[in-house]
Structures are given as C-alpha cells and as structure tokens.
Amino acid sequence: MTEPLRLSKRMSELGLCSRREADEWIARGWVRVDGQVVSELGSKVLPSQRITVERQAQAQQARRVTVLLHKPVGYVSGQAEDGYKPAVVLVKPENRWSADPSPEQFHPAQLKSLVPAGRLDIDSVGLLVLTQDGRIAKKLIGEDTSIEKEYLVRVQYTKPGRLPDADLKKLNHGLWMDGKPLLPAKVRWQNDDQLSFTLREGKKRQIRRMCEMVGLKVVGLKRVRIGRVKLGELPPGQWRYLAPDEQF
C-alpha cells in the first residue's frame, strides 16, 4: 500500500507550486482532490489521486514576477546582516535597466515575497535571481537541481610558478568538502589570471574554498549565467524582469 503524503508536499513534488503557495491555495479553497475541494491544512492524499487547482490560483501565479539583478559588492543576497543592505533594496524603478525588453510594469506589490533563489557572497558580483514564484526557486535551489551556474573567477596562485595541471584536474573532480565529495565541475582557464567555473551545486563559499585547497586565492568572483539565462549586458546595480520566453 502506498503511504499518503501531505497535500502541500505532493503539490510541490508535481511542480504545481511551492509548499508555501500550496498551503495558501488550500486555505483559500482553490485546490481540489479528485474533484472535491480540500481546504484543511495538513490534509493528506495518495499519489494516485488527481489534484487540480482553480483558475484564481493559476492567475495569481501568472502575476508573480522574477527579477534578474546584477548584484554589486557590498550587498547581501538575503536578509540584512551586520549593517549591510539586502540586494532587494536595489529593485526600484530608477534602477531598472533602460534596455529591459519586458512589457511588465513595476509595482511595489512585486516586492512582497520577492526572495533570492540562491545566494552570492557579499564580496561577489553578478547574476542574482529574485523571485515570487516558488516553482522557480525550487528549480534553482532544490536538493535535486541540475541547473548549471557559471562564474568567472580572478585568482592569484600563492605558490611559486603556475597551478599544476593535476590541481586543475582536482578542481574539476576529486575535491571533498564538509565530509562529502563535490559533484564534478567544469573548470578551465579563461586567461592568465582568470578561471571559468561551472557548477551544479552551491555550498557556502564553495568556489573560494575549492581554490584555497589548491593554493589559489580568489580576488574577484562574478556569476555570469544560471542555466540558459545569462547576465549579458545588464549593468551593475541594475535589474530587469525575466522574460516570459526565458527558461532557466
């Protein structure tokens, strides 16, 4: 016999929405199981049962925005900490990129529940995704995400000579962190002092720690791509909307 699951968990598994959204929709009576409205939080369903959502839920989800920000140094990705401002404070009309092709109009309500899907250290720059859409957040930072993130990393070698090829190979595969082997990465030289890193995971300060393990000091780190979405020409401190036809 298959075990019943919490309805909100099952909705998240099916990619309908995030668990938080599911709870909100359930409470509003917007969720049906086998055609019957289920409005009690914590309700359970069998995997074989059919879950549908009302049009109001789909309309609410369609209004949720995703913002691409070129985060500068000195801003934290999430909550304000140690006197530093969160990156979301940059999302205001005067900082919107003048070349943003999206027809979306800015409204202060878009700042509600606009949260980072992934993080960049305070001293790192580049592409930061802020979203109201739980599906996108799950896709980018869920445990089973396979979406690549690409970084340009300026480094200094702290030992004599150049980084040995064997250590470059270790950066690609073979390092351990926090007691676990890291997933294979793609690491290659861009020029004499800059490496390109492409990762499918995002442990805290991962690139800086990987570099330290082979004697490299990171002097600059910039995220330039998440999946198929590139930072492109977006200027530092400015933002644009994720276009309807853009997919990570």
- Active site residues per annotation: 121
Q: If we measure between CA atoms, which residue out of 128, 150, 4, 20 comes closest to residue 73?
A: 128
* Dist CA 224 CA 234 (whole Å): 10
Burial label, 148 (beta-carbon count in 10 A; 0-12, 13-18, 19+):
middle
- What lies within 8 Å, CB to CB, of 109 at 6+ separation is none
* Dist CA 229 CA 147 (whole Å): 11
35, 102 contact by CB (below 8 A): no
Residue 221 neighbours by CB distance under 10 Å: 23
For residue 7, give the 3-state DSSP assignment. helix
Q: If we measure between CA atoms, which residue out of 177, 170, 163 comes closest to residue 217?
A: 163
* Dist CA 101 CA 82 (whole Å): 36
What does residue 167 show for φ and ψ, rounded to 5 degrees?
-75, -35
Q: If we measure between CA atoms, which residue out of 196, 174, 192, 193 comes closest to residue 183?
A: 174
